[in-house]
């Protein structure tokens, strides 16, 4: 069966065996692809053809074939070209010879051996001695036994054939092919020149051959008679029979060993099957245990769920008792299915009212529109709100659908919320809003509030009408009026300053009023953000007069700067300790000082002690809020030079500017003046 698998496999095919099958060591043509999973592949070898025994027609014909059958070779599965090469080598190196197997049966014939072999009469066996000529049989049998015993090549002495045929020598060599032992009998012709010099010829032949020489029968060394020949034949047959018996025993042992291996593999497979069955039983047991544990877990979960449901029911009852809202649940027919304790503040409910129509229960307030709201919610409206109030209380009723898991309506839920406090808070908020409005209206600035995108005016105080001429209502309804009133030259700058992503801004710009006037305003804004949206609040202030004052002050500052930097006067500004705060370039050059080194020096260093004391008294006079000016003559001490007579215009500042409290303008007096 394995051979059929071998020859039936396609190229690249695989042979899979079960756990109870295996390949013995004697199978050829398969190689192991995966030993663990018992997978085999087809190897490069194929099964060799069995050599036919010599008793068959092929072997018998091979012994006596004519010259056309010469050169027959024992063929395995070797390519024909290799066989031709082996035949040529055999003829070149072996000459005419016979190849025998380990039972001395004829296997192959190489060359022309018809001069040394005969066709026996009667029944033909495979024994090679039957095909040899009578005078060669005993010598060949002896040589074969010697080669079989020593496994070395043996050369016989010269053997005389018939007078007309000459002499020859027999050489027997062992030949091992794989695990089999063969013998090769070679026929070597000897030149027959002188029968008396046969011993010399034998010696010469021995010198040419490496094989040991066995003395020829009849030479005096060893005489082989007929009784000795028969005894040798008997011993040879016994030896061959013993070897054959031993070989059969070896074959039987190998077969028994293979059977034992197969039995061992079957036992191993059975053991593996039993182990697999045991593992399956253990797995089944584990599955049963796991199932039991799962059942126990499910049982525990059911108990936990039951306890959770009880706790949830208890929690629901506690929640209903603790809610600040009343609740009544009705079904599709508006019958009461459940209510909370606070619901009795509006509906006069008792436990026996469950299952009764809701509108058969008396109420403490007039609930106008409640029936219509429940009908609309049952029809699919998501929510309805109803307000009910009296002089003492106020309630907000919300009607919502009661749905199952599939979002199908099962009734309606009516919740009652006490909004009395909310109503009071609303009234308080309205009052606070009124106070805020009065407060913003009393401010000089106009207060406004815009949305996050600055495209809507949410609130503006009444002061805006005084500034612009438009009322707050007009600007809230049309906020573009305020935007269009901005002077066109300032619009781009104002738009750039209004950054909604910042925290706020302050920008001054010119604004046109309703009556055509043009005023200067300052816009201060602050961005307020919450989780959902943001807005902007700010003020709008009229700074027209303040701007005019600032411009006048700037003009005066420009005039002072022109006097300070004049090249006709020496100007210095002092603090209350007469230290130099500022000085112009002309005075620095006169005192041979740069401005950096002069600032901070006491000005008394450049005055006489009397003049220094006078100036110090003037500097320490308290400020009166009015700039006081007076003139004095003093001596200015020039480094490395003569004192200069100077006329100083001393001005005490009306308000100290930092550390500066006094300004001196020095004018050099002409020489000789009083």
pLDDT, tens only, 256-278: 898 898 888 899 998 889 999 99
Kindly state the average pLDDT of the residues 127-144.
84
Kindly state the average pLDDT of the residues 55-62.
37
Span 383-397, pLDDT tens digits: 999 888 877 788 888
Does the structure show a pLDDT above 80 at 300?
A: yes
Strands 154-155 and 14-16: unpaired
Measured distance CA(387)–CA(398) in Å, rounded: 9
**What pLDDT was estimated at residue 545?**
73
DSSP string for 550-591: HHHHHHHHHHHHHHHT-SSSEEEEEETT-BEEEE-HHHHHHT
- Three-class secondary structure of residue 242 per DSSP: helix
- Residue 233 exposed, middle or buried by CB count within 10 Å (0-12, 13-18, 19+): middle
CB 339 within 8 A of CB 329: yes
Residue 27: pLDDT band with limits 50, 70, 90: low
Q: Which residue has the higher pLDDT, 195 or 283?
A: 283
Residues β-bridged to residue 454: none
Phi and psi dihedrals of 126, rounded to 5? -90, -5
Residue 625: pLDDT band with limits 50, 70, 90: low
- Three-class secondary structure of residue 541 per DSSP: strand
**What pLDDT was estimated at residue 223?**
38
**What pLDDT was estimated at residue 52?**
38
Q: Which residue has the higher pLDDT, 345 or 76?
A: 345
Residue 624: pLDDT band with limits 50, 70, 90: low
Residue 93: pLDDT band with limits 50, 70, 90: confident
**What pLDDT was estimated at residue 551?**
65
Residue 56: pLDDT band with limits 50, 70, 90: very low
Measured distance CA(609)–CA(463) in Å, rounded: 62
Q: Tell me the range of 65-74, 538-547, 561-570, 657-666 where mean pLDDT is highest.
A: 538-547
Measured distance CA(171)–CA(175) in Å, rounded: 13
Kindly state the average pLDDT of the residues 352-367.
89
State the average pLDDT for the chain: 77
Residue 462 makes CB contacts below 8 A (sequence gap 6+) with: 437, 440, 441, 471, 472
Q: How far is CA 58 from the centre of its chain?
A: 75
Kindly state the average pLDDT of the residues 454-472.
83
CB 520 within 8 A of CB 542: yes
Does the structure show a pLDDT above 60 at 65?
A: no
**What pLDDT was estimated at residue 197?**
46
- H-state helical runs in 151-225: 198-208
**What pLDDT was estimated at residue 70?**
36
Q: Report the half-sphere exposure of 256 (CA within 13 A, side-chain side).
A: 6
CB 185 within 8 A of CB 174: no
Letter string b/e over residues 243-257, b meaning 16 or more CB atoms within 10 A of that residue's CB: eeeeeeeeeeeeeee
CB 320 within 8 A of CB 312: no
Structure tokens at 151: 């496994």
Residue 25: pLDDT band with limits 50, 70, 90: low
Measured distance CA(203)–CA(205) in Å, rounded: 5
Does the structure show a pLDDT above 90 at 160?
A: no
Count of C-beta atoms within a 10 Å radius of residue 282: 10
**What pLDDT was estimated at residue 289?**
92
How many percent of the chain have pLDDT more than 90? 9
The tokens 């010099």 sit on which residue? 197
Residue 479 makes CB contacts below 8 A (sequence gap 6+) with: 450, 455, 456, 457
Residue 565: pLDDT band with limits 50, 70, 90: low
Give, in order, the Cα–Cα distances in Å from 31 to each of 19, 34, 311, 376. Answer: 18, 9, 73, 86
Kindly state the average pLDDT of the residues 508-529.
85
Span 542-562, pLDDT tens digits: 877 776 666 666 665 666 666
**What pLDDT was estimated at residue 626?**
54
Span 408-422, pLDDT tens digits: 889 999 988 888 777
Residue 128: pLDDT band with limits 50, 70, 90: confident
Residue 657: pLDDT band with limits 50, 70, 90: low
Residue 192: pLDDT band with limits 50, 70, 90: low
Minimum mean pLDDT range among 6-15, 31-40, 185-194, 378-387: 185-194
């Amino acid at each position: 069966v394995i051979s059929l698998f071998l020859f039936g496999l396609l190229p690249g095919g695989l042979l899979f065996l079960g756990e109870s099958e295996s390949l013995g060591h004697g199978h050829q043509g398969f190689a192991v692809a995966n030993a663990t999973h018992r997978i085999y592949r087809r190897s490069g070898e194929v099964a060799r053809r069995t050599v036919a025994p010599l008793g068959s027609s092929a072997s018998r014909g091979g012994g006596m074939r004519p010259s056309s059958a010469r050169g027959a070779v024992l063929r395995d599965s070797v390519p024909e070209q290799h066989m031709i090469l082996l035949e040529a080598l055999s003829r070149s190196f072996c000459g005419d010879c016979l190849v025998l197997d380990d039972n001395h049966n004829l296997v192959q014939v190489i060359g022309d051996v018809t001069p040394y072999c005969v066709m026996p009469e009667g029944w033909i066996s495979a024994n090679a001695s039957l095909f040899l000529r009578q005078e060669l049989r005993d010598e060949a049998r002896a040589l074969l036994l010697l080669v079989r015993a020593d496994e070395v090549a043996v050369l016989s002495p010269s053997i005389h054939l018939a007078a007309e045929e000459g002499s020859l020598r027999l050489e027997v060599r062992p030949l091992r092919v794989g695990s089999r032992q063969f013998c090769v009998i070679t026929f070597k012709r000897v030149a027959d020149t002188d029968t008396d010099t046969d011993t010399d010829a034998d010696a010469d032949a021995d010198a040419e051959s490496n094989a040991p020489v066995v003395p020829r029968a009849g030479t005096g060394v060893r005489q082989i008679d007929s009784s000795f020949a028969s005894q040798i034949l008997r011993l040879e047959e016994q030896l061959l029979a013993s070897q054959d018996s031993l070989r059969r025993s070896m074959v039987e042992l190998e077969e028994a060993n293979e059977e034992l291996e197969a039995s061992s593999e079957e036992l191993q497979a059975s053991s593996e099957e039993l182990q697999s069955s045991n593992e399956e039983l253990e797995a089944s047991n584990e599955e049963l245990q796991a199932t039991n544990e799962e059942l126990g877990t499910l049982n525990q979960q059911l108990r936990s769920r039951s306890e959770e449901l009880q706790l949830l029911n208890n929690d629901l009852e506690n929640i209903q008792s603790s809610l600040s809202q009343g609740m009544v649940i009705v079904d599709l027919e508006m019958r009461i299915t459940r209510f909370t304790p606070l619901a009795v503040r509006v509906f006069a409910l008792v436990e026996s009212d469950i299952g009764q129509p809701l509108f058969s229960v008396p109420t403490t307030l007039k609930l106008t529109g409640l029936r219509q709201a429940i009908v609309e919610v049952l029809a699919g409206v998501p929510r309805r709100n109803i307000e009910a109030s009296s002089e003492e209380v106020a309630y907000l009723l919300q009607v919502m659908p009661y749905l199952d898991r599939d979002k199908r309506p099962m009734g309606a839920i009516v919740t009652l919320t006490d909004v009395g406090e909310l109503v009071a808070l609303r009234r308080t908020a309205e009052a606070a809003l009124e106070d805020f409005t009065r407060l913003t209206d009393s401010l000089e600035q106009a207060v406004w509030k815009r949305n996050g995108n600055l495209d809507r005016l949410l609130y503006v105080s009444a002061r805006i009408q005084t500034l612009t001429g438009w009322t707050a209502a007009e600007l809230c309804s049309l906020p573009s009026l305020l935007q269009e009133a901005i002077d066109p030259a300032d619009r781009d700058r104002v738009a750039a300053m209004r950054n909604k992503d910042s925290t706020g801004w302050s920008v001054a710009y010119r604004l046109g009023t309703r009556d055509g006037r043009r005023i200067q305003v300052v816009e201060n804004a602050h961005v307020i953000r919450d989780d959902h949206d943001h807005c902007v609040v700010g003020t709008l202030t009229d700074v027209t007069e303040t701007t005019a004052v600032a411009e006048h002050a700037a003009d005066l500052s420009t005039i002072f700067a022109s006097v300070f930097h004049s090249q006709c006067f020496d100007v210095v500004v002092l603090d209350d300790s007469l230290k130099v705060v500022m000085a112009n370039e002309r005075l620095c050059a006169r005192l041979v000082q740069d401005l950096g080194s002069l600032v901070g020096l006491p000005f008394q260093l450049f005055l006489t002690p009397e003049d220094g004391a006078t100036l110090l008294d003037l500097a320490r006079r308290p400020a009166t809020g009015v700039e006081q000016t007076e003139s004095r003559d003093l001596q200015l001490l020039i480094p490395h030079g003569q004192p200069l007579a100077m006329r100083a215009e001393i001005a005490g500042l009306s308000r100290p500017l930092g550390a500066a409290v006094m300004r001196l303008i020095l004018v050099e007096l002409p020489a000789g003046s009083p």
